[in-house]
Chain A
């Protein structure tokens, strides 16, 4: 008989869960769920941070990424930037404390958001230098998962010769190096495409060095920080703000802590919330906060300012696409700023059609959020569903209802916002806010219309060319028959063919050429991140497993009695073989 336990006994096991412990157990939430993805996630977090830091300090970023294979499934990832550096006191917290950072609390467009990112990849060794005359600070860190605090394993001051300022991270980690659309290679390439002001020097585990040089010396316009908009604030956040504010009255609180709230709007909110404008923010209770929330929703407040967003610009997006894809036609579209939950955002779209792209498969989608490529969870992303729900047939692509269009086309979608809503902490897919989906669709439709006019022009020219070759084909027959019937000479026949050509030429329009005319195309760049055939082969030890799985699938799908019998026989044979081996 099991003994009953008392609440006191149970209480012994009840304790606080540290955020670090939580994510230690739930590494998949951060994108470290499988070894193939782990390397990418580490590089992504590191590079995102480096670029954010450089841009914030208004330095043209130059990022060095190196991956060294230490053992079959073990890699050293080295990332070095020319950013402003980090003062020694902050280094441990920034790299070895989860939910620590500067980006979560402010509303400004940046790559990182939550302050989780890179910390999940530690233990790491960090070197950072903040100025040419200063010593560099070096330390080795790991997270104390119990307390979510950094453990400093080793720290010292060093000289960092030849470096004025910057930060270098070395992480030793488990992982598998892959090529393809979800690889580090692809990620860095796409990053370079949408960040034309960045130079990336990348050394692969195969010791191959790839340099993505910057193509513009101009930094993107500085992302401005904005105050939260009342429409976007949640209850908890509002309570916290009321608690910590230095303002004396509710009206003052509303006008100073939020954007787009003036005295009259603040009074209206208070009235709608049945609260006094003179109430002290610290005295507002939970119930009153809820009242305030309702009051905000009832009040008409001007949309947040949108100059805080720095989009890539349609022109640069298109130019990046030209480097990557050799197509016949490129176009782009950008939407005016829009707002979801009080957060301003801008959608930009670019298309490449035709050329060397595959015609019989679904279009290729390249997704970006705040200049960061999104490589995983395409299916869960609002961008994907917006593409699926756009009627591409009228724009000249094939599409069965509700699925991705099919055609020789690449679609790039970029969302920039002060706060990009991801579906998870690993930041791989945009959440389905109706405002966002709508804007993406509008941008896609805009680009789609341009595409449609190109496709119809191409078709027209194709018809024209066909007619022309058609004429060429039959002129000799017309001439031949007339010559034969009227017994003409060879000379007369040749002259007749010439005349026929002239006559038919007159009835035809001018023939315009459509071909790939893309001086920006960079075939070497395009190759990066592409699957290599040989790497796709299934390793022998996995082969049997895969085969068996395929067989099982066939079984469930087919249900043909004969087939089942055969499979069973086969399984028995294998089993026999194993027994004999034992």
Chain B
């Protein structure tokens, strides 16, 4: 099930599953019974976490979509989407999420009115088939993230089919951009670690001052919650080169719970593919609640919504529930009632982050969070 290029022939099982689902449905209807679609429940409540596996694993919970008056529209749309997927896989073609949305405009009353509708149906189908969306013929449009540093990415020239070596030290003030699908990439590097950064602003600063050279590392800008491609890229890179991954985000619940947690163990929404789109070896470098104290960072007060989010994480997020140290850190933040941004380090000088903060943090694993 590992999504690799050479397994294209084995894409056929998806077609087989789609066809057999439709045939089963035909039989059920023939017996004048209400047909049902079984879709794995895609939510935090339906995942579990253990350290050995290192990612959010899907539990057997399913949502049953029975054909009734109120579900018939989504039902028709899901079936239509299955038909499109089958066609795409058979012809070895692909469609972006947006394109799939436009294809639906041919479906008369069953067409999607907004793209989020079609995205949800697509995610349902993906989970039903237990594969990632590339395997059912759909690709995301999202950008993977920016990379700079001591890394050579080996790609293939689409015209000549020849290997192409991309040196990530040679983008100057720019950066290498992670493609939406990166299964075919290979890497050469001597870097000691990967630093995944939340904001592109911080990435630019580190890139401009060639922090990757000083620290001998690879910088990846995630730009918020990392995309699947970004997660997959970091995972493949870290696995193949056996180097650690450090994560550097804002010191707020969103940085901890959405960005770091998703990078490390995946999401509840796409739990069926977390196995491949997670980076279990990632460690949280900062900004931790304790950093706010230790570095006397300027802060913003926690909003009501932040406090709520923290409470919810402690109560419901299987990842946070697993780690006492995270719970403590979050409780500490609740008590402090403040949050701090990455850029807050600039209080001590623009390059304080390069000269002091990062070296100190990297040197002292005790200040990290799991």
Q: Is B69 touching A503 in the complex (CB atoms < 8 A)?
A: no
Q: Is B67 touching A504 in the complex (CB atoms < 8 A)?
A: yes
**What residues of A have a CB within 8 angstroms of the CB of B18 in the complex?**
485
**Closest chain B residue, CB of each to CB of A467:** B69
Question: In residues 455-493 of chain A, which contact B (Cβ within 8 Å)?
Answer: 467-468, 470-471, 473-475, 477-478, 481-482, 484-486, 488, 492
Q: Give the contacting residue for A507; candidates B29, B34, B76; CB below 8 A.
A: B34
Q: Is A507 touching B30 in the complex (CB atoms < 8 A)?
A: no
Binds A, one of B78-86, B129-137, B249-257: B78-86
Q: Is B69 touching A477 in the complex (CB atoms < 8 A)?
A: no
Cβ of B12 under 8 Å from chain A: no
Q: Give the contacting residue for A502; candidates B19, B22, B32, B107; CB below 8 A.
A: B32
Cβ of A500 under 8 Å from chain B: yes
Q: Give the contacting residue for A496; candidates B30, B68, B69, B73; CB below 8 A.
A: B30
Given known contacts A474-B110, A485-B19, A492 and B34 CB-to-CB distance under 8 angstroms: no
**What residues of A have a CB within 8 angstroms of the CB of B21 in the complex?**
485
Q: Give the contacting residue for B109; candidates A473, A481, A495; CB below 8 A.
A: A473
Interface of A is mostly: helix
Q: Is A499 touching B32 in the complex (CB atoms < 8 A)?
A: yes
Q: Is A470 touching B73 in the complex (CB atoms < 8 A)?
A: yes
B90 nearest CB across to chain A (Å): 11
Given known contacts A477-B80, A481-B83, A503-B34, A470 and B26 CB-to-CB distance under 8 angstroms: no
Cβ of B108 under 8 Å from chain A: yes
Q: Give the contacting residue for B76; candidates A481, A496, A508; CB below 8 A.
A: A481
Q: Give the contacting residue for B29; candidates A473, A484, A485, A496; CB below 8 A.
A: A496
A482→B25 CA distance, assembly (Å): 8
Q: Mark B71-97, 1 if CB is under 8 A from A, else 0.
A: 011011101101100100000000000
Question: In residues 166-220 of chain B, which contact A (Cβ within 8 Å)?
Answer: none
**What residues of A have a CB within 8 angstroms of the CB of B69 in the complex?**
467-468, 470-471, 504, 507-508
A477, A484, A492: residue with the most chain B Cβ atoms closer than 10 Å: A477
**What residues of B have a CB within 8 angstroms of the CB of A508 in the complex?**
69
Interface of B is mostly: helix
Question: In residues 249-306 of chain A, which contact B (Cβ within 8 Å)?
Answer: none
B300 nearest CB across to chain A (Å): 43
A187→B32 CA distance, assembly (Å): 63
Question: In residues 507-537 of chain A, which contact B (Cβ within 8 Å)?
Answer: 507-508
> What band does the interface of chain A fall in when counting residues whose beta carbon is under 8 Å from B?
20 to 34
Q: Mark B39-73, 1 if CB is under 8 A from A, else 0.
A: 00000000000000000000000000001111011
A500→B22 CA distance, assembly (Å): 14
Q: Is B107 touching A477 in the complex (CB atoms < 8 A)?
A: yes
Q: Is B26 touching A492 in the complex (CB atoms < 8 A)?
A: yes
A486→B79 CA distance, assembly (Å): 11
A468→B33 CA distance, assembly (Å): 18
Q: Is A478 touching B22 in the complex (CB atoms < 8 A)?
A: no
Q: How many A-B residue pairs have CB under 8 A?
A: 78
**What residues of B have a CB within 8 angstroms of the CB of A474 in the complex?**
72-73, 75-76, 109-110
Q: Mark B1-32, 1 if CB is under 8 A from A, else 0.
A: 00000000000000000110111011001101
Q: Is B32 touching A477 in the complex (CB atoms < 8 A)?
A: no
Q: Give the contacting residue for A478; candidates B30, B67, B86; CB below 8 A.
A: B67
B157 nearest CB across to chain A (Å): 37
A393→B32 CA distance, assembly (Å): 44
**What residues of B have a CB within 8 angstroms of the CB of A484 in the complex?**
83
**Closest chain B residue, CB of each to CB of A488:** B26
**What residues of A have a CB within 8 angstroms of the CB of B22 in the complex?**
481-482, 485-486
**Closest chain A residue, CB of each to CB of B79:** A481
B325 nearest CB across to chain A (Å): 50
A12→B247 CA distance, assembly (Å): 112
Given known contacts A470-B72, A503-B32, A503-B33, A477 and B26 CB-to-CB distance under 8 angstroms: no
**Closest chain B residue, CB of each to CB of A481:** B79
Q: Give the contacting residue for A504; candidates B23, B26, B68, B77; CB below 8 A.
A: B68
Given known contacts A470-B72, A470-B73, A482-B79, A477 and B30 CB-to-CB distance under 8 angstroms: no
A474, A499, A507: residue with the most chain B Cβ atoms closer than 10 Å: A474
**Closest chain B residue, CB of each to CB of A499:** B29
B137 nearest CB across to chain A (Å): 14
**What residues of A have a CB within 8 angstroms of the CB of B107 in the complex?**
477
**Closest chain B residue, CB of each to CB of A504:** B69
Given known contacts A477-B107, A482-B22, A499 and B67 CB-to-CB distance under 8 angstroms: no
**Closest chain A residue, CB of each to CB of B110:** A477
A474→B18 CA distance, assembly (Å): 20
Q: Mark A424-442, 1 if CB is under 8 A from B, else 0.
A: 0000000000000000000
**What residues of A have a CB within 8 angstroms of the CB of B30 in the complex?**
495-496, 499
Q: Is A503 touching B67 in the complex (CB atoms < 8 A)?
A: yes
**What residues of A have a CB within 8 angstroms of the CB of B108 in the complex?**
477
**What residues of B have a CB within 8 angstroms of the CB of A499 in the complex?**
29-30, 32
A467 nearest CB across to chain B (Å): 4
Q: Give the contacting residue for A477; candidates B29, B76, B82; CB below 8 A.
A: B76
A467→B72 CA distance, assembly (Å): 10
A500→B66 CA distance, assembly (Å): 12
Using a CB–CB cutoff of 8 Å, the interface residues on chain A facing chain B are 467-468, 470-471, 473-475, 477-478, 481-482, 484-486, 488, 492, 495-496, 499-500, 502-504, 507-508
Using a CB–CB cutoff of 8 Å, the interface residues on chain B facing chain A are 18-19, 21-23, 25-26, 29-30, 32-34, 67-70, 72-73, 75-77, 79-80, 82-83, 86, 107-110
Listed A/B pairs (19) with beta-carbon separation below 8 Å: A470-B69, A470-B73, A474-B76, A477-B76, A477-B110, A478-B76, A481-B22, A481-B82, A482-B25, A482-B29, A482-B79, A484-B83, A485-B18, A496-B29, A496-B30, A499-B29, A503-B32, A504-B69, A507-B69
User: Top 5 A-B pairs ranked by shortest CB distance?
Assistant: A481-B79, A477-B76, A485-B22, A486-B22, A477-B110
Given contacts A474-B109, A481-B76, A502-B32, 5 further A-B contacts (CB under 8 A): A470-B69, A474-B110, A481-B79, A488-B26, A508-B69
